[in-house]
Structure 1
């Protein structure tokens, strides 16, 4: 056997082994990114379970897009109603306050508010001022609100982030414990507010 002929085969074998190692490293690094992008784009292997209880607002809708003008800076439990504040609205206002109190040490990071399409009657307004002194009050621009909610009737409770983005929506049948759990989780993972 001629040693001069065997040397190029050894070099070629090392070259292919090096190329194979490079391809494996690239596959390990880039492969998961490509797989994750494909999973997001074509919605396969996406878990059907969720860790929140309300309706996730993933459309980029903001509080202003809902027809409510308010200051930003803290998380907010916002109760909205296109009509006068009826029984379901009053129940959600009470629930929002209880959830706000239930935040304990994180209560300073949140607020609760009421936005109604019609003005409150004098008796209800006086009662709300007396029993809910920290309740923020806003007016809803009805055409904007109806378009943003698809004409949904009745009172709704929204969790709004410090930038004014709507995160989760709940109806009047929602349980306070579930909303509190969702808000606590959001405050825990949030880097804002």
Structure 2
């Protein structure tokens, strides 16, 4: 009589499909983790599918420039609203100085996280100097190195307002046409996102 036939081992037949299923699950998990990073890198490098919209109103300074790169030597450990005047601090410059002070006040309980400052090439007029002393007692004043400013600023001939982070990095730049409400929204957004200053 022949040898008895052993029935097939059921665990051997189900193990192969389980292994294949496990491999596919592992591949899917890796693709879900690595895929978005690879896609984001190519989107950034090739500039495709980049949204046109933005949530800020000034010109973003994303090149690592600091206050020193636009001719202002200062040591301030808070956020700063810095007005620069490469010519006489007249109409637009004075308007931006006023706006900077109002913005700091508008921050409410976060007002202590920011300061306002003026950097000028020329001394201000005696009349405006007297006004600054009485109406802007907390305004910080700095000299502005014109050659450095002309080389480093995006629009060197005009009065401008800059948002500077606590490390001295330039974040956003505005000209005199900016609306105070827009600038205040930008500043509040930055302070909300920031753990510094």
TM-score (norm 2): 0.91
From 20, 29, 32, the counterpart of 1:16:
20
Q: Is the 8 A contact 2:118 2:141 kept in 1?
A: yes
Q: Secondary structure at the match of 1:35?
A: helix
* Total equivalences in the alignment: 193
1:99 alignment partner in structure 2: 103
Displacement after TM superposition at 1:10 (Å): 4.0
**1:14 to partner: Cα distance:** 2.5
**Is residue 183 of structure 1 aligned with residue 182 of structure 2?**
no
Q: 1:128 is matched with which residue: 132, 137, 143?
A: 132
Shift in Å, 1:2: 8.2
Unaligned runs of 5+ in 2: none
1:78 has 2:43 as partner: no
Report the Cα distance in structure 1 between the residues aligned to 2:16 and 2:26, rounded to whole angstroms: 15
Shifted more, 92-101 versus 147-156: the winner is 147-156
Is residue 112 of structure 1 aligned with residue 126 of structure 2?
A: no
Looking at structure 2, the residues matched to 47 and 59 of structure 1 have their Cα atoms a distance apart, in angstroms, of 20
Identify the match of residue 88 of structure 1 among 86, 92, 108. 92
Cα deviation, residue 61, structure 1? 0.7
3-state DSSP class of the match of 1:23?
Answer: helix
Match of 1:27 in 2: 31
Assess if the C-alpha contact under 8 Å between 2:116 and 2:138 holds in 1.
Answer: yes
